[in-house]
Amino acid sequence: MTWIFPKSATVGALFGYHRGMGMSIVTFDWAQIAYIGSPLATPWWAAANVFAGFVVIFWIIAPAIYVSNSFTTVLYLV
C-alpha cells in the first residue's frame, strides 16, 4: 500500500512496516502460517473464528484507537 500511495501520511501510519501499524503484512510462507500448529488440523469454523477476530481487532478497532489517539489520552488522565 505504501508503494501505491508513497506521500500519504495516513497510509504510511496504517500500512507502513517501519513506522506504522504494519497492516498489509500478508504471507504465503507455510513455515509462518503453521508456526503454532498445522491449520489443516483445526476445524474450518475455528479458523474462521480466529480470522474474524483478527480482522475486527487488528483492522478495525486498533486503527480506530490509533487514529483517535485514545490510548495517549487515557495515559494523561492517570
pLDDT in tens, 35-73: 777 777 778 888 889 889 988 988 899 888 888 887 776
32/65 same-domain check: no
Domain identity same for 32 and 50: no
pLDDT tens figures, 5-45: 888 888 888 787 777 777 767 777 777 777 777 777 778 88
Q: Does 19 share its domain with 54?
A: no
Range of the domain at 63: 42-78
Question: Does 30 share its domain with 63?
Answer: no
- As for how many domains the chain has, the answer is 2
**pTM for this structure?**
0.57
How many residues in the chain? 78
Q: String of b and e for 10-30 (b: at least 16 CB within 10 Å)?
A: ebbebbbeeebbebeeeeeee
Amino acid at 17: Y
Per-residue pLDDT at 1 exceeds 80: no
